[in-house]
Amino acid sequence: MSKRPKAPKASQASQASQASQASPVAGGTARHEPELSEAPNHRGVKPLRSGYTTGACAAAAAKGAVLMLLRGCFHETPGRVSIPLPGGGRADFKLEKCALRGISATASVIKDAGDDPDVTNGAEITAGARFLSEAGGQAKIIIKGGEGVGVVTRPGLPVPPGRPAINPVPEMMIRTAVGEALSPQETSPQETSLQGRAVEITISVPEGRRLARRTLNARLGIVGGISILGTTGIVKPLSGEAWKASITASMNVARAMGIRTVVLSAGRTSERAHMRKSDIPEAAHVLMGDYVGFCFGEAARLGFVEIHLCAQWAKLVKIAMGTPDTHVRAGAIDLRRAADFLRQLGVRLPNRSDKNRPYNTAREIFDHVPPGDRKKVCATAAAYAGRLSGLPVKAFLVSYEGDIIEQNG
Phi, psi of 156 (to 5 degrees): 105, -5
Is the separation of the CB atoms in 134 and 26 below 8 Å? Answer: no
Is the separation of the CB atoms in 153 and 35 below 8 Å? Answer: no
Q: Hey, which residues does 202 pair with through a beta bridge?
A: 128, 144
Q: What distances in angstroms separate CA 226 from CA 16, 120, 280, one per listed residue?
A: 36, 9, 26
Indicate the Cα dihedral angle 365, 367, 371, 373, nearest 10°. Answer: -10
Q: What is the pLDDT of residue 140?
A: 87
Question: 3-state SS string over the chain?
Answer: CCCCCCCCCCCCCCHHHHHCCCCHHHCCCCCCCCCCCCCCCCCCCCCCCCEECHHHHHHHHHHHHHHHHHHHHHCCCCCEEEEECCCCCEEEEECCEEEEECCEEEEEEECCCCCCCCCCCCCEEEEEEEECCCCCCCCCEEEEECCEECEECCCCCCCCCCCECECHHHHHHHHHHHHHHHCCCCCCHHHHHHCCCCEEEEEECCCHHHHHCCCCHHHHCEECEECECCCCCEECCCCHHHHHHHHHHHHHHHHHCCCCEEEEECCHHHHHHHHHHCCCCHHHEEECCCEHHHHHHHHHHCCCCEEEEEEEHHHHHHHHCCCCECCHHHCCCCHHHHHHHHHHCCCCCCCCCCCCCCCCCHHHHHHHCCHHHHHHHHHHHHHHHHHHHCCCEEEEEECCCCCEEEECC
Q: What is the pLDDT of residue 117?
A: 74
Per-residue pLDDT of the chain (409 residues; tens, 9 = 90+): 444 444 433 332 222 222 222 222 332 323 333 333 344 343 444 667 889 999 999 999 999 999 998 886 555 667 899 999 998 899 999 999 999 988 899 999 999 988 877 899 999 999 999 998 765 545 689 999 999 999 999 988 889 999 999 999 999 999 999 999 988 665 554 455 555 678 999 999 999 999 999 988 998 899 999 999 998 899 877 667 778 888 999 999 999 999 999 999 998 889 999 999 999 999 999 998 788 999 999 999 999 999 999 999 999 999 999 876 655 444 466 788 888 899 999 999 877 655 556 677 888 899 999 999 999 999 999 999 999 999 999 999 999 889 999 999 7
Q: What is the pLDDT of residue 336?
A: 85
Give residue limits of the domains in the chain: 15-235, 240-407
* CA angle (8 as vertex; 7, 13 as ends), nearest 5: 140
Is the separation of the CB atoms in 286 and 264 below 8 Å? Answer: yes
d(CA 347, CA 357): 19
In one letter, which amino acid is 171? E
Q: What is the pLDDT of residue 330?
A: 46
Q: Domain 15-235, what fold?
A: CbiD-like (3.30.2110)
In 3D, which of 264, 190, 6, 259 has the Cα closest to residue 110?
A: 6
d(CA 121, CA 6): 11
C-alpha 199: how far from its chain's center?
Answer: 29
- Cα-Cα-Cα-Cα dihedral sign, residues 129, 131, 132, 134: positive
d(CA 71, CA 48): 38
In 3D, which of 201, 237, 30, 215 has the Cα closest to residue 114?
A: 237
